[in-house]
Amino acid sequence: MAHLLFLSFLICRLIPIVGLTLHSSDLLPLQLHIHPSTTSSVSTDFGGTTHSTPLAILHPTSPHDIAILIRTSYLSPHPFPISARGHGHSINGQASAPQGVVIDMSRDSVISDLTHDRPLPFYSSTRHEYYVDVWAGELWINVLSWTLANGGLAPKSWTDYLYLSVGGTLSNAGISGQAFHHGPQISNVHELDVVTGKGELVTCSDDQNSELFHAVLGGLGQFGIITRARIALESAPQRVRWIRVLYSNFTAFTKDQERLISLHSDFKRFDYVEGFVIVDEGLINNWRSSFFSPSNPVKMSSLGGANGGVLYCLEMTKNYNEYNAHSVDQDVEELLKELDFIPASIFTTDLTYLEFLDRVHKAELKLRAKGLWEVPHPWLNLFVPASRIADFDLGVFRGILGNKTSGPILIYPMNKHKWDDRTSVVTPEEDVFYLVAFLRSALDDSGEPSKTLKHLSRENQEILEFCRKEGLKTRQYLPHHETQSEWQHHFGRNWDRFRHRKAEFDPKFILGTGQGIFQPSSLPYSSLFFS
């Protein structure tokens, strides 16, 4: 009863603000939850380094609920912040709404035709490919399971971890080892339904409301909340040959990666190319154990790891089906013979396509069992121009890091022509650039100073300062900056376009305040509810 009374009070406080535009009958059905035990559940995220409790959570039953809420804020003389939250995998509070409302987009909270009665994949005769329409809060693993079960289809481009929401990855870019060929996930979506910062529900695409479409893709939640996405599909392979090789020479490592992403033939190329850095003895055996038993540990010295104690791993996959399984060995052998890796370091395994795509989830389950998943994650993700990647190696991998990492370090190249520069994502201005991702886990109780949140955060700053001093012209992926001047530097020549799009689609700065791009992420909005 107390909860209902408080909700009624909230509605009564909102209605007079917006005059006759909205009525109690509009707001009463909204699943607004304001109890501290509920709001605290969305006060932090996977990063675990920020804490921001909203005043309320909306559990929408349809996109129209989201539109009503945003329009309420937009028409108020005191707009309150609103952010969409998928499954809480942000790392710096990007999905928070300090003293505002968080929209819980997760499928568990949504009663929607787009989740309970999912549309089947359909064929577009104009584009000559299949698509599927999905609710933006849907997990990619669920999208994959649905399309595999209904036509043997799959989205083209992936992230390494599939338990992320569609809207969340499309608001950033969505990248993995397939991006060199298919582009990021934002290059493989062809229509969106978006609720703008004015509370307008708009369908947009490359041909319809295109400015909003490109603004929202990679837009960090600044211009609208995605509610539906039309994802391009392809026929899913049945199996995957997964290969890993090691390098002690960084130049050979990057040269081979860049050669592999330049191959265009569907038959004479790998389908996935990623790399990572190994800087201590323990990681090499953790790396190898995902393929074979670690009962016979590998020594870095035996593989020529004299390059400042650093080795580099290149991993590739070749997709295949039963009908062409006989040729996969020859295809892989022909591709590998052109590479300059350590000969004794080849490790291979075969598994289903689903098992490969869902590989990181297995690691998650192991970490959860050990109590090592719910810890702070001070991640740092950078796009580094290919022309400066050797300088980055010397200054960071063989310099700042020493011999401790506290998590995987990914490094792999992408082709810029696979990215659409009309979207809001900022990448280096070179034909090839690398993602370098420091996927750290802070363990303050481990007894090792190098694994503490304080140490890892300081090391992140050292890396960023090194890039700045050396003029590497890096850009952050999943960006986080403290000041507006830093954000302006991040967007560079695209800042004016980004700012003008904000003025057009969210002129009252309602959305994405947790990013802190246009204003501080904490503003005195509580007067709206309690004054």
**pLDDT truncated to tens, each residue of the chain (531 aa)?**
433 333 444 444 443 333 333 344 455 567 777 777 788 889 999 999 999 999 999 999 899 999 999 999 999 988 999 999 999 999 999 999 988 999 999 865 554 444 557 899 999 988 899 999 999 999 999 999 999 999 999 999 999 999 999 999 999 999 999 999 999 999 999 999 999 999 999 999 999 999 999 999 999 999 999 999 999 999 999 999 999 999 999 999 999 999 999 998 777 899 999 999 998 655 565 655 566 545 555 665 666 555 567 899 999 999 999 999 999 999 999 999 999 999 989 999 999 999 999 999 988 998 899 888 999 999 999 999 999 999 999 999 999 998 777 789 999 999 999 999 999 999 999 999 999 999 999 998 888 888 999 999 999 999 999 999 999 999 999 999 999 899 999 999 999 999 999 999 999 999 999 999 986 443 344 333 333
Report the pLDDT value the prediction gives residue 267, as an integer from 0 to 100: 72
Which position among 138, 274, 393, 506 bears the catalytic label?
274
Report the pLDDT value the prediction gives residue 290, as an integer from 0 to 100: 60
Q: For tokens 């403290």, what's the residue? A: 482
Enter the pTM of the model: 0.90
CA 403, 404, 408, 411 torsion-angle sign: negative
The full DSSP string for 18-65 is HTTSS-HHHHTTS-EE--HHHHGGGS--TT-S-----SEEE--SSHHH
Round to whole Å and give the CA distance between 200 and 267.
46
Q: Is 274 a catalytic residue?
A: yes
Which amino acid, 48?
A: G
SS3 call for 301: helix
Contacts 24+ apart (CB under 8 A), 116-120: 118/146, 120/150, 120/151
**DSSP state, 493?**
G
Q: For tokens 């998943």, what's the residue? A: 373
Round to whole Å and give the CA distance between 230 and 206.
12
Cα 60 from chain centroid (whole Å):
23
**DSSP state, 358?**
T
Round to whole Å and give the CA distance between 323 and 235.
14
Q: Is 160 a catalytic residue?
A: yes
Burial class from Cβ neighbours inside 10 Å (0-12, 13-18, 19+) for residue 466 reads middle
Report the pLDDT value the prediction gives residue 173, as an integer from 0 to 100: 98
Round to whole Å and give the CA distance between 487 and 208.
29
Report the pLDDT value the prediction gives residue 302, as an integer from 0 to 100: 60
| Cβ neighbour number for residue 444 with a 10 Å cutoff | 14
Report the pLDDT value the prediction gives residue 151, as an integer from 0 to 100: 97
Burial class from Cβ neighbours inside 10 Å (0-12, 13-18, 19+) for residue 81 reads buried
Q: Using an 8 Å Cβ cutoff, are 103 and 199 in contact?
A: no
Q: Is 89 a catalytic residue?
A: yes
Report the pLDDT value the prediction gives residue 445, as an integer from 0 to 100: 85
Which position among 64, 129, 133, 160 bears the catalytic label?
160
Please name every residue paired with 511 in a beta bridge, in sequence order, or none if there are none: 82
Tokens of 266: 């569907």
